[in-house]
Structure 1
Amino acid sequence: MQQDGLILELQQGNEKAFERIYQLYSESTYGIIFSIVKDEGIAEEVLQDVFMKIWNNASSYSPDKGRFFTWILNIARNASIDKIRSKSYKNKKQNLKADNFVDILEHKSNFSATIDAIGIKKYINILEPVCKKLIDFLFFKGFTQKETAEELGMPLGTVKTRNRVCIQKLREIVA
């Protein structure tokens, strides 16, 4: 079954199609979630939530708006960010060790896995270091612009402007 047919069957409520989509996408989706929440148990919980959202909102996917995998990753990213911004998560993570905050760009393992999973590594690597850092914080770690400004020691307005410029550069590279 081709992907378009599989997606159509999912949108029609076919459970077998949903199972196949889970088999195809759960591992890479889990990788994205884990790179944000950094906790296996929470990542598994968010993964379940993400696939429930996929099942419940399959009809909202439109190929005109982008690739199916990108749609899934946006759901995963948003669910992960919602989770780490939740009060229960913050209370649980109050006493994290410092190594959880090591910049993943410098160690590259999580960042490379994340950007490889969504197929944009070759594009991200072309960008200048400040863009890599901003994209890492804002999109892969789920930081707000204010949190990113504090982490990088930049004025908030500079983060906002550079983010727009970096995303525009990424769009031009990908196009």
Structure 2
Amino acid sequence: MTQEELLAQIYKKDGKAFTALYDMYSKSLYGVIYNLIKDREESEDVLQEVFVKIWKNIDSYNETKGRFFTWILNIARNTSIDRLRSKSHNNSLKNLSADNFVHILDHNTSVTNKIDAIGIKEFINKLKPKCIKLIDLLFFKGYTQQEASEELEIPLGTVKTQNRNCISELRNILQVQ
């Protein structure tokens, strides 16, 4: 079954098609979620929430605006960021041991680990170093553009422009493949 046929069945709320969709994308989405959340159990909860959102909001997907995978990837990323910013998540962090924070800090420094998780390492490595750093902050660490501006000590407008340019460059690289 092609992706187009699968989407047609999902629009009709076909449960078997939704199961096939889960089988196709759950591992990739889980990798993105886990790289942001850093907790297996909570990442699984977020993954379930993401697929519920996909199911409920499938009618809002517009294929003329972008690829389906990009649409669901954004749902996963945004849901993860929402969870990270939630009060309950922040309260649970207060109970973590100092050892866990050291582990989190060690993992957060590795751009390579994050981009390996969704299988685009080779493409991102073709970008300029400033693009790799910006993509790491915005897409893998969940920074807002304002937070990235402060972290990189550059104006917000520059972050926005560089983000657009880097994503455009990444699209060009992916289209060549």
TM-score (norm 1): 0.84
Report how many aligned residue pairs link the two structures. 169
**Counterpart in the other structure of 1:104:** 110
SS at match of 1:97: helix
**Alpha carbons 1:123, 1:170 under 8 Å: kept:** yes
**Equivalent-residue separation in structure 2 for 1:155 and 1:2 (angstroms):** 44
**Counterpart in the other structure of 1:131:** 131
Q: CA deviation at 1:82?
A: 1.0
Further displaced range: 127-136 or 154-163: 154-163
Give 1:22-101 correspondences, 5 Å limit: 22-94=22-94, 95=96, 97-101=101-105
SS at match of 1:54: helix
Further displaced range: 79-88 or 155-164: 155-164
Further displaced range: 54-63 or 72-81: 54-63
**Alpha carbons 1:104, 1:111 under 8 Å: kept:** no
Unaligned runs of 5+ in 1: none
Change (3 A) 1:35 1:166: same
Further displaced range: 84-93 or 47-56: 84-93
Overall identity of the aligned pairs, in %: 51
Verify: 1:113 aligned to 2:145, yes or no: no
Q: CA deviation at 1:64?
A: 2.0
**Equivalent-residue separation in structure 2 for 1:99 and 1:150 (angstroms):** 24
Where in structure 1 do 4 or more consecutive aligned residues deviate above 4 Å?
A: 153-158
Change (3 A) 1:65 1:155: closer
**Alpha carbons 1:127, 1:170 under 8 Å: kept:** yes
**Equivalent-residue separation in structure 1 for 2:70 and 2:162 (angstroms):** 23
Q: CA deviation at 1:172?
A: 4.2
After superposition, what is the alpha-carbon deviation per residue over 1:26-52, rounded to whole angstroms, capped at 9, x for unaligned? 111111111111111111010010010
SS at match of 2:64: helix
**Alpha carbons 1:33, 1:47 under 8 Å: kept:** yes
Q: CA deviation at 1:155?
A: 4.9
Q: CA deviation at 1:57?
A: 1.2
**Equivalent-residue separation in structure 1 for 2:29 and 2:171 (angstroms):** 22
**Alpha carbons 2:28, 2:117 under 8 Å: kept:** no
**Counterpart in the other structure of 1:162:** 162
**Alpha carbons 2:138, 2:148 under 8 Å: kept:** yes
**Equivalent-residue separation in structure 1 for 2:48 and 2:65 (angstroms):** 24
Q: Which amino acid aligns with 1:111?
A: I
What root-mean-square deviation, in Å, do the aligned CA atoms of Structure 1 and Structure 2 show?
2.1
